Chain A
């Protein structure tokens, strides 16, 4: 079943070959290489950035863990007697690490954790996974293997053969582990004065042994229990610390371990940041920053977020999707060569070839732009390459500026909408971002209602929001906001003045208060009527006027800056928006594809004979489609004879519609063979299986599905 093919030819270098693949697309291969390297460098930057984000987010957690670990066995270092008397309780210090449901994402956390421990606390770290430890024996084996290996790493390799022997021969038991620990610590002790001072001095005299259970839920309870009971017996000789990686909830510890065992643990809980917050940070740092020229369009972002929220909660997969977006953008869009930092832009625009200029002219957004210009300029844009280049550069710079401003105003708007009741525009900034990218946000119903809600905010909220907006705008790099900031500050001072001058507002508040109380229907009606009266009659207070003004001003900002990206000229160069490709690659639906192919072969095979209405099938369809369609009519068991007969009826009618072939009772051999093939293909696809319940019957494996 396996065949290996070995060529004799020597290969080229990998990076060259990738670049070669990249440029393999027939058109525009001239600057494919440059495009590829832009793509790669962009991706590397983004990767670094995400790693940094992850590190920052984990920092708090890891610091807490670190202090816990150093605390846990501090007594062991100082006075052994006291330690033993305390450890009469035989409690093992344990850290329960709650990491969220997506297990694959934990790996990076554990990696950074063990790196950190290695550098700061102890060289003795073993991380265990459930799939390696079906029994206590395997667990001990794995544990000792890892511990003794790291022992080699820390010390010099001079006594390698000793360790080798020990690893193979030694009986995997707790006592041998303790023996090993004693010699190891002693050795480091005596070596410290001589040579290894610098490297070993960062550890304590007798560093704790840390055992990490990466996926605690999948361990067999028996193994865990045994291990805990055994090691608790030896805790006074071996300073052991356990770390449980937990994906669900801390309750699981008590469900897995009976009280007699869990009482041997001294558990401290550590909660990592939820993956949603992690995602928010990533989006904030990757998408809503002006660091990277590449941007995601609305649909693409929606697909990525949906995969995250509805499928896996995995930030890693989100980043993988992002990587794919970058790749796809640079691969499929020849103009993506201009998707670079502003610094390089001028050079790249100037070196555009004739073909590339034509590509620009072909962009739909550019054509819209041209149509709006005066006729002379139109001609210049369409005929003179140099003019086009200048214009392109200007437009692209505009696009970058647009993005700066967009992000700043988006954040301001988010400050407002995130505090409104029921969050008509979404709680997270990503929702708002999607809404703004999708279409002109001020035309949506949700925006309307949120403005109305904003018009009812009270003063203190309004003031804090305005202050936040001022901060955001000040910190943003756009230069256009000086005026805006001034205006907002003016609003703030007005509010200040208002407070001093105006006290009447209390009355209305009290009337509001009254309404909060329980009343009967009669009273409610009365107060409502009164309220209506008063509203109609009362003039707007100064505060209300000011509030309206503020909201209107925000509205004007939104209308000015939050134009959807695809309304901008040349957005195709910076924004990636082909969501279908992305969805096809990341979130494929193999069963849907099969269903379509079987039910509607015309979708794939563009033949007129196959064309037919929804839910039906032509009798000229491929054999497997007909057989599939016929089998849908059956219950749990299918009689092969009936099936064959039905099939041959259909096929013969399709081949010779007029001849009265049905009269011959015998089924043609070829048709029989075709039937056999189709049936065995259905079996391969998993729709049916042979059944022994009745002779010449097969069982259906799917239910329904017309």
Chain B
């Protein structure tokens, strides 16, 4: 792999280096020299001294941009880009629990986030129990860690090994151990005979083919049970030459390798536990709000202080707006209240438009409509938003006394982040008598804008980290994974079914009941068509499989069921609703009947 590179070095250059009385000792020469040496040894890219210069320049650039004052209103610019976008070792299934227990265990202390030491650390608090034993364990752990790191073995594998190591002293020294082990670990270790169970708690899922996920899952669970400690095709081990490790380029390539290593397989290993097993009732929107209202807001005083700092900038915002800039606010925390305050304190006697960008049904059209209809008092329709924009532009240009302040909460929301919407908003904001002030939250929000749009927007950025909870912004998100009340799915189910014949309802009921019976089986593929037909006949619901098929087609059209072909070619039927909703549905049905 290594190649020698021979380069002709003319005499003048040699002379330049040798003859010290010429005294040219510019830094760049040195850099060049060292790089020359490097190319001699390794076959890296052709690093010319141009590149060296570039690196120098880059450093200078970073240094120039990295100048930061101690002003709290500034960014946390002490953070370098590498920290934010750095890579990390992949596959950590139990890391979260470890960190959590660490955080819980050390309430006053701080926890270093050096992950490679985590297992050791969790072990440390109980060192007092048996020194000899524990040193051995720690040593073993280290060995395993090394081993794991070297071979890039999967986390699960490692965890099992760890379990093995931990469980051996456990039998003898159970008492002390229980009192000090982290919560999660203890839960696992308290029942060593549940070894198998904890194994099956882990299974893989597949990132592609979302439609067929269940089938895949079954397969992987099966395979997982068969070979619990199966390792993946071992990726190339990271290079071991520790001396050359400091070399930046090598590090870079390592990181890249790590990334692809983590993304090469489509399977991710996480535990199989579901919220249902937690036996917790799901919270709906109202109870959630009620609970949160009761919970005191942490650090209210500090947050208030932050807000006051931002509020002192209001007059400056106005100044900048009037001088032709537009303002964009960024930073953690809801900026809604801040903007509201700005509005009520400074915009009371001017025409302004407030746009709640987080509103799920907001469109550019509605923004434009409210400008034309309410601000400009125009009654009439437009063929396209572009026409409408043209009309607005014309009106604002004709009448210089017209002024409009536009406040947009969450300019980067789902509905407004599209290219066309942004283009229109940018053009709108470029009008001299429209003053735009907007807030963004998403981490990738600045990617919405290219040079042309940025130029139209003419932003001035203001950091307004408020730490206030995003109450309004998140309340519209119906995809709130955690507390999905299912009320929507339920009502749609009942509505559709109410419009069907009693026979059809009976058919659906049958399917639902059957599915509920099998709810404990994670590998339940669905009810096969033949079985279903048999059951329906027995219940006098259908008389031929044609009628059943017609009925099923109707269900499928309403997305009440899903059909899927199994490995043996049999058609399986499934209701794509979670169990609790289904139970609720059946209960409701019972009441009705």
CA distance A394 to B260 in the complex (A): 67
- One digit per residue, 1 when the CB lies within 8 angstroms of any chain A CB and 0 when it does not, for chain B 302-338 equals 1101100000000110111011010000111100000
Partner among B280, B291, B442 whose Cβ is within 8 Å of the Cβ of A670: B291
CA distance A327 to B462 in the complex (A): 16
Partner among B101, B283, B353, B469 whose Cβ is within 8 Å of the Cβ of A3: B353
A579 contacts the other chain (Cβ, under 8 Å)? yes
- The answer to whether B93 and A591 touch across the interface, beta carbons within 8 angstroms, is no
- The answer to whether B455 and A104 touch across the interface, beta carbons within 8 angstroms, is yes
B270 contacts the other chain (Cβ, under 8 Å)? yes
- The answer to whether A703 and B88 touch across the interface, beta carbons within 8 angstroms, is yes
A346 contacts the other chain (Cβ, under 8 Å)? no
- The answer to whether B446 and A590 touch across the interface, beta carbons within 8 angstroms, is yes
- The answer to whether B315 and A587 touch across the interface, beta carbons within 8 angstroms, is no
B79 contacts the other chain (Cβ, under 8 Å)? yes
Question: Considering the complex, which residues of chain B in the window 453-511 have a beta carbon less than 8 Å from any beta carbon of chain A?
Answer: 454-456, 458, 460-463, 465, 467, 469-470, 473-474, 477, 479-483
CA distance A282 to B2 in the complex (A): 50
Residues of B within 8 Å of A617, CB to CB, are: 103, 110-111, 113
CA distance A682 to B283 in the complex (A): 19
- The answer to whether B77 and A589 touch across the interface, beta carbons within 8 angstroms, is yes
- The answer to whether A635 and B92 touch across the interface, beta carbons within 8 angstroms, is yes
Most chain A CB within 10 A, of B270, B446, B463, is at B270
- The answer to whether A601 and B441 touch across the interface, beta carbons within 8 angstroms, is no
B514 contacts the other chain (Cβ, under 8 Å)? no
CA distance A453 to B362 in the complex (A): 66
Whether A604 touches B306, Cβ cut-off 8 Å, given contacts A516-B11, A633-B99, is: yes
Residue of A nearest to B297 (CB): A622
CA distance A596 to B287 in the complex (A): 32
Residues of A within 8 Å of B351, CB to CB, are: 4-7
- The answer to whether A639 and B271 touch across the interface, beta carbons within 8 angstroms, is yes
Count residues of chain B with CB under 8 A from any CB of chain A.
162
- One digit per residue, 1 when the CB lies within 8 angstroms of any chain A CB and 0 when it does not, for chain B 355-382 equals 1110101100011011100110000000
- The answer to whether A453 and B103 touch across the interface, beta carbons within 8 angstroms, is no
The smallest beta-carbon distance between B189 and chain A, in angstroms, is 14
CA distance A1 to B364 in the complex (A): 11
A195 contacts the other chain (Cβ, under 8 Å)? no
- The answer to whether A681 and B206 touch across the interface, beta carbons within 8 angstroms, is no
Residues of A within 8 Å of B429, CB to CB, are: none
Residues of A within 8 Å of B446, CB to CB, are: 590
CA distance A416 to B503 in the complex (A): 98
Partner among A4, A103, A615 whose Cβ is within 8 Å of the Cβ of B375: A4
Residues of B within 8 Å of A635, CB to CB, are: 90-93, 262, 268-270
- The answer to whether A690 and B481 touch across the interface, beta carbons within 8 angstroms, is yes
Question: Considering the complex, which residues of chain A in the window 612-627 have a beta carbon less than 8 Å from any beta carbon of chain B?
Answer: 612-613, 615-620, 622-624, 626
The smallest beta-carbon distance between A642 and chain B, in angstroms, is 6
- The answer to whether B88 and A706 touch across the interface, beta carbons within 8 angstroms, is yes
Partner among A324, A535, A592 whose Cβ is within 8 Å of the Cβ of B460: A324
The smallest beta-carbon distance between A88 and chain B, in angstroms, is 41
Residue of A nearest to B179 (CB): A660
Partner among B75, B103, B356, B445 whose Cβ is within 8 Å of the Cβ of A589: B75
Residues of A within 8 Å of B113, CB to CB, are: 615-617, 629, 706
- The answer to whether B469 and A681 touch across the interface, beta carbons within 8 angstroms, is yes
Residue of B nearest to A700 (CB): B268
- The answer to whether A605 and B79 touch across the interface, beta carbons within 8 angstroms, is no
- The answer to whether B11 and A515 touch across the interface, beta carbons within 8 angstroms, is yes
Residue of B nearest to A455 (CB): B23
- The answer to whether A449 and B443 touch across the interface, beta carbons within 8 angstroms, is no
The smallest beta-carbon distance between B523 and chain A, in angstroms, is 13
Identify the stretch in A13-21, A168-176, A496-504 within 8 Å (CB) of chain B at 4 or more residues: A13-21
- The answer to whether A606 and B305 touch across the interface, beta carbons within 8 angstroms, is yes
Question: Considering the complex, which residues of chain A in the window 255-307 have a beta carbon less than 8 Å from any beta carbon of chain B?
Answer: 299, 302-303, 306
Whether A591 touches B443, Cβ cut-off 8 Å, given contacts A642-B97, A693-B207, is: yes
Residue of B nearest to A579 (CB): B67
Residue of B nearest to A619 (CB): B103
A406 contacts the other chain (Cβ, under 8 Å)? no
CA distance A550 to B477 in the complex (A): 75
Whether A604 touches B355, Cβ cut-off 8 Å, given contacts A583-B65, A672-B280, is: no
Residues of B within 8 Å of A638, CB to CB, are: 96, 270
CA distance A449 to B23 in the complex (A): 8
The smallest beta-carbon distance between A22 and chain B, in angstroms, is 6
Residues of A within 8 Å of B95, CB to CB, are: 633-634
- The answer to whether A685 and B115 touch across the interface, beta carbons within 8 angstroms, is no
Identify the stretch in A201-209, A310-318, A356-364, A555-563 within 8 Å (CB) of chain B at 4 or more residues: A310-318
CA distance A9 to B15 in the complex (A): 82
Whether A25 touches B315, Cβ cut-off 8 Å, given contacts A626-B103, A642-B97, A686-B443, is: yes
B37 contacts the other chain (Cβ, under 8 Å)? no
A588 contacts the other chain (Cβ, under 8 Å)? yes
B562 contacts the other chain (Cβ, under 8 Å)? no
- The answer to whether B467 and A604 touch across the interface, beta carbons within 8 angstroms, is yes
- The answer to whether B461 and A585 touch across the interface, beta carbons within 8 angstroms, is yes
B452 contacts the other chain (Cβ, under 8 Å)? yes
A508 contacts the other chain (Cβ, under 8 Å)? no
Residues of A within 8 Å of B367, CB to CB, are: 2
- The answer to whether B88 and A630 touch across the interface, beta carbons within 8 angstroms, is no
Most chain B CB within 10 A, of A5, A327, A670, is at A5
- One digit per residue, 1 when the CB lies within 8 angstroms of any chain A CB and 0 when it does not, for chain B 1-40 equals 0000000001110110011011111111000000000000
- The answer to whether A528 and B18 touch across the interface, beta carbons within 8 angstroms, is yes
- The answer to whether A634 and B477 touch across the interface, beta carbons within 8 angstroms, is no
CA distance A324 to B326 in the complex (A): 12
The smallest beta-carbon distance between B62 and chain A, in angstroms, is 10
The smallest beta-carbon distance between B98 and chain A, in angstroms, is 7
- The answer to whether B87 and A594 touch across the interface, beta carbons within 8 angstroms, is no
CA distance A620 to B276 in the complex (A): 29
A212 contacts the other chain (Cβ, under 8 Å)? no
- The answer to whether A694 and B205 touch across the interface, beta carbons within 8 angstroms, is yes
Whether A649 touches B467, Cβ cut-off 8 Å, given contacts A2-B362, A516-B12, is: no
Partner among B99, B105, B352, B474 whose Cβ is within 8 Å of the Cβ of A629: B99
- The answer to whether B349 and A698 touch across the interface, beta carbons within 8 angstroms, is no
Partner among A327, A657, A687 whose Cβ is within 8 Å of the Cβ of B443: A687
Residue of A nearest to B104 (CB): A653
Partner among B76, B98, B100, B112 whose Cβ is within 8 Å of the Cβ of A647: B100
Residue of B nearest to A4 (CB): B374
Partner among B67, B107, B305, B578 whose Cβ is within 8 Å of the Cβ of A619: B107
- The answer to whether A590 and B103 touch across the interface, beta carbons within 8 angstroms, is no
Residues of B within 8 Å of A516, CB to CB, are: 11-12
Residues of B within 8 Å of A251, CB to CB, are: none
Partner among A2, A22, A592 whose Cβ is within 8 Å of the Cβ of B354: A2
The smallest beta-carbon distance between B404 and chain A, in angstroms, is 9
The smallest beta-carbon distance between B329 and chain A, in angstroms, is 10
The smallest beta-carbon distance between A696 and chain B, in angstroms, is 5
Residues of B within 8 Å of A424, CB to CB, are: 26
CA distance A467 to B107 in the complex (A): 75
- The answer to whether A674 and B295 touch across the interface, beta carbons within 8 angstroms, is yes
Identify the stretch in A57-65, A157-165, A661-669 within 8 Å (CB) of chain B at 4 or more residues: A661-669
Residue of B nearest to A17 (CB): B322
Whether A641 touches B277, Cβ cut-off 8 Å, given contacts A616-B112, A676-B288, is: yes
- The answer to whether B462 and A585 touch across the interface, beta carbons within 8 angstroms, is yes
The smallest beta-carbon distance between B483 and chain A, in angstroms, is 5
Residues of B within 8 Å of A196, CB to CB, are: none
CA distance A584 to B313 in the complex (A): 14
- The answer to whether B107 and A2 touch across the interface, beta carbons within 8 angstroms, is no
- The answer to whether A528 and B353 touch across the interface, beta carbons within 8 angstroms, is no
Q: List 16 A-B contacts (CB under 8 A).
A: A4-B354, A5-B353, A449-B23, A449-B24, A590-B330, A590-B461, A605-B467, A631-B96, A649-B100, A653-B103, A654-B103, A673-B291, A680-B481, A694-B270, A705-B86, A706-B83
16 additional A-B residue pairs with CB within 8 Å, beyond A606-B305, A639-B271, A686-B442: A5-B354, A14-B322, A331-B319, A586-B461, A587-B65, A591-B84, A593-B465, A597-B465, A607-B302, A616-B113, A634-B93, A646-B99, A662-B183, A683-B477, A684-B470, A705-B85
* 7 closest A-B pairs by CB: A596-B76, A646-B100, A653-B104, A588-B461, A1-B359, A104-B455, A704-B88
